């Protein structure tokens, strides 16, 4: 066994061929888990005691569930659960299984992001919007969301990076994303140059998380720009 640093660079293009799968999975999960998280947050902030307890219990359990176990439970459990209904899920793609597992997991995180953002917005904003005759939906779209996005951005960035990292476990149920591609390349070479391949993978993931962090701080500046000007004008 010997170490050939040059191979790290050579294998990167081969790995990047599956970058799309990783990014698609992350993006689709982000979309669905935001919707699911919003639903959970709505339940947590709502008046119904039962819904609130259910949403809180769900979040507490999912926060303590290792990703690996949730993936396996979905992969082995969903076909079992749906079989009596006459639905055959055995042909469902691994991508779909991964998407479901990560949406369940990330939805819990997103619900907390959304809930804390909503609570951090001043009550007076809602009242003021109602006073000028806005409907609840208009209030949400024009008043709450623009402020909320700015407040939520740091948390959103952390959640996205966590998701990207956790999503690398989808290879355990056979999805060929970046990580799966690395495993495939190594097994095609009968285990040779495993270290170099994983180091290349390290570089790729590192670059991805770095880019997300940069993007989020850019957005923060963009959304914050108007905010600080207004604050300065308001200051005596």
Partner 1 sequence: MSFDLDFFARAARAVLPGIPLTLLVVAFSLAVALPLGFLTAVARAKRVRALSPALAFLVSLMRGTPMIVQIYVIYNALPLMLSAFFRKAGIGVNVFDVDPLLYALFLFSLNTTATLSEVFRSALSTVGAGQMEAALTCGLSEAQAYVRIVVPQMMRAASAPLCNAAVELLKNSSLVFYMGVRDLMGIIKTEAGIGYNYFEGYALALVIYLILCFGVQGIFRLVERRAKRGRAAQAA
Single out the residue of 179, 180, 181, 216 in contact with partner 1 (rule: CB under 8 A).
Answer: 179
- Does residue 198 belong to the site contacting partner 1 (CB under 8 A)? yes
Single out the residue of 199, 219, 220, 223 in contact with partner 1 (rule: CB under 8 A).
Answer: 199
Q: 80 vs 123, which CB is nearer to partner 1?
A: 80
Cα separation, 225 vs 17, whole angstroms? 38
Sole window of 5-13, 28-36, 58-66, 90-98 interacting with partner 1 (rule: CB under 8 A) = 58-66
Q: Which residues contact 16 (CB under 8 A, 6 or more apart)?
A: 178, 204
Separation in Å, CA 32 to CA 38, 62, 78, 194, 216: 10, 16, 18, 35, 20
- Does residue 87 belong to the site contacting partner 1 (CB under 8 A)? no
- Does residue 69 belong to the site contacting partner 1 (CB under 8 A)? yes
Can you list the pairs that 142-150 forms with residues at least 24 positions away whose Cβ atoms lie under 8 Å? 144/118, 146/223, 147/121, 148/117, 148/118, 148/121, 149/223, 150/220, 150/223, 150/224, 150/227
- Does residue 205 belong to the site contacting partner 1 (CB under 8 A)? yes
Single out the residue of 111, 168, 175, 181 in contact with partner 1 (rule: CB under 8 A).
Answer: 168
- Does residue 155 belong to the site contacting partner 1 (CB under 8 A)? no
- Does residue 58 belong to the site contacting partner 1 (CB under 8 A)? no
- Does residue 9 belong to the site contacting partner 1 (CB under 8 A)? no
Single out the residue of 34, 166, 180, 181 in contact with partner 1 (rule: CB under 8 A).
Answer: 166
Size of the site for partner 1 (CB under 8 A): 36
> At what angle are helices 145-166 and 194-234 packed, to 10 degrees?
170
Sole window of 6-14, 39-47, 140-148, 164-172 interacting with partner 1 (rule: CB under 8 A) = 164-172
Cβ atoms within 10 Å of 182's Cβ, excluding its own? 23
Q: Would you say 31 and 163 are in contact if contact means Cβ atoms under 8 Å apart?
A: no
Question: Which of 173, 41, 61, 163 shows the shortest CA–CA distance to 111?
Answer: 41
* Contacts to partner 1 by CB under 8 A: 1, 3, 61, 63-70, 72-73, 76-77, 80-81, 83-84, 161, 164-166, 168-169, 179, 194-195, 198-199, 201-202, 205-206, 209-210
């Amino acid at each position: 066994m010997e170490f050939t640093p040059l191979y790290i660079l050579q294998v990167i293009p081969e790995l990047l061929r599956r970058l799309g799968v990783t990014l698609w999975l992350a993006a689709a999960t982000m979309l669905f888990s935001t919707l699911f998280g919003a639903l959970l947050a709505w339940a947590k902030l709502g008046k119904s005691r039962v819904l609130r307890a259910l949403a809180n219990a769900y979040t507490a359990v999912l926060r303590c569930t290792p990703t690996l176990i949730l993936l396996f439970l979905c992969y082995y459990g969903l076909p079992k659960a749906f079989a009596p209904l006459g639905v055959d899920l055995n042909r469902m793609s691994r991508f779909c299984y991964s998407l479901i597992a990560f949406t369940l997991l990330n939805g819990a995180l997103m619900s907390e992001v959304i809930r804390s953002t909503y609570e951090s917005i001043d009550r007076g904003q809602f009242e003021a919007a109602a006073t000028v005759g806005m409907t609840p939906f208009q209030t949400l779209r024009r008043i709450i969301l623009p402020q909320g996005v700015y407040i939520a951005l740091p948390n959103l960035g952390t959640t996205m990076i966590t998701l990207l990292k956790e999503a690398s476990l989808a290879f355990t149920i056979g999805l060929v994303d970046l990580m799966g591609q690395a495993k495939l390349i190594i097994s095609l070479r009968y285990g040779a140059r495993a270290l170099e391949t994983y180091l290349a993978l390290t570089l790729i993931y590192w670059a991805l998380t770095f880019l997300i962090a940069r993007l989020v701080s850019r957005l923060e500046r963009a959304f914050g720009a108007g905010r600080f000007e207004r604050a300065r004008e308001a200051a005596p």
